[in-house]
Amino acid sequence: MDLEWTDEQRALRDEVVRVATAELNRDLVRRDRQSEFSPEAWKACAALGIQGLPVPEEWGGSGADPPTVALALEALGYGCRDNGLIFSVNAQMWSCELPLVTFGTDEQRRRYLPGLCDGSRVGVQAMTEPDSGSDAYAMATTATRSAGGWALNGVKTFITNAPIADLFVVFARTAAERTIGSISAFLVERDAPGLTVGPPFEKMGLRTSPMAEVVLRDCRVPEKSLLGPMGGGLAAFTTSMDWERSFILASAVGTMQRQLERCVAYASERRQFGQPIGKFQAVSHRIAEMRIRLETARLLLHQQALRKARGLSTPADAAMVKAHLSDCFLRSSLDALQIHGGYGYMVDAELERDVRDAIAGHIYSGTSEIQRNIIAAYLGL
């Protein structure tokens, strides 16, 4: 695997770290406490080109290749401590922009992608329902033909970005039976009649990333809002999940690098029993494990980026990245807290927030159990 970066890629990484460090962490402890999304930080991310990374230039992005995307997101996680903001950005990129790039008509791409890239629009994907989560294709939401378009009926829950979204990629049943072709994807604008967004949910972590329920009651959308062919929802969803599981935790690699550097510095400075705590093997081995996790996570991420670039990725490859990176991020966040002792447990130290944020990695984009089911299925089990 070639991990040599070009001068251009290095310059991008340095610029993302510089801007993210300077502009994306303002007032974060308070905003996390109050579950407050930052529109300014969202726009700063867009100005930096983050939202546009996977979108071709003709639709407002930079058309970066997957290794460059991984590198930029890793840099974002190193500089930006607001995991909620990064999560919201990723949710839009992989579950709204990517299906539009892959399955949209030119008219749909022209209408939505430039605004999603420049930060003036926010996109979401609405799949999960109160009674269908891991078993996503058991959904109850329906789309039926109605005077020149479609009528959508159902309830979607846990929808990231819903409180601030302009565009919803909604999955609905267009045929009753449970077959590959029974689900379709629709582009639904926020002001579509019959669409309502519930009050924001209060979450354990990723608190700066807003989330709500979306209710569709006889929600009327025009014929041209169908994304991809009728019955093509499964392809749109699996494609977006494949990209999302590959890259949604790329930023966590940067965060783990930052945590490691902070722990090495603290273990060298903090003295107990007459010596730096890093001289105690219980502490130094914990930090060594953090380093091993960082390196294996980074290798898996960049290997997956190369696979995506070469069109060689399977759903099991993406599932492995998601499962491994989320495990590494949570365990290293716990280690960083433990190494800082009582100070690490205090909110102002900004270490406990990473633990709360990292736990979500075992649930969103398919739980860790579902990722392992996918990996096992590819092994014929």
Ligand X SMILES: Cc1cc2nc3c(=O)[nH]c(=O)nc-3n(C[C@H](O)[C@H](O)[C@H](O)COP(=O)(O)OP(=O)(O)OC[C@H]3O[C@@H](n4cnc5c(N)ncnc54)[C@H](O)[C@@H]3O)c2cc1C
Residue closest to ligand X when measured from CB atoms: 133
Which lies closer to ligand X via its Cβ, residue 110 or residue 372? 372
Q: Other CB atoms closer than 10 Å to residue 241's CB: what's the count?
A: 24
The nearest distance, CB 88 to ligand X, in angstroms, is 9
β-sheet bridge partners, residue 152: 143, 219
CA distance 221 to 303: 41
What residues line the site for ligand X (CB under 6 A)?
A: 91, 124-128, 133-134, 158-160, 206, 360, 363-364, 366-367, 369-370, 373
CA distance 41 to 333: 24
The nearest distance, CB 236 to ligand X, in angstroms, is 13
Alpha carbon 262 to its chain's center: 25
Q: Is 41 helix (H, G, I), strand (E, B) or coil?
A: helix
Which lies closer to ligand X via its Cβ, residue 91 or residue 188? 91
Given 23, 213, 244, 352, which residue is catalytic? Answer: 244
User: What is the H or E stretch that residue 143 is in?
Assistant: strand 142-146
Residue 132 is given by DSSP the state: B
The size of the chain, in residues, is: 381
Please give the single-letter amino acid code of residue 119: G
The nearest distance, CB 257 to ligand X, in angstroms, is 23
Whether 295 is a known active-site residue: answer: no
Which lies closer to ligand X via its Cβ, residue 73 or residue 263? 73
The nearest distance, CB 129 to ligand X, in angstroms, is 8
Q: What would you measure as the largest C-alpha separation in the chain, in angstroms?
A: 80
User: Which residue has 């972590």 as its token pair?
Assistant: 205
The nearest distance, CB 114 to ligand X, in angstroms, is 22
User: What is the H or E stretch that residue 301 is in?
Assistant: helix 281-310
Which lies closer to ligand X via its Cβ, residue 159 or residue 195? 159
Which lies closer to ligand X via its Cβ, residue 125 or residue 257? 125
Q: Which residues are catalytic?
A: 244
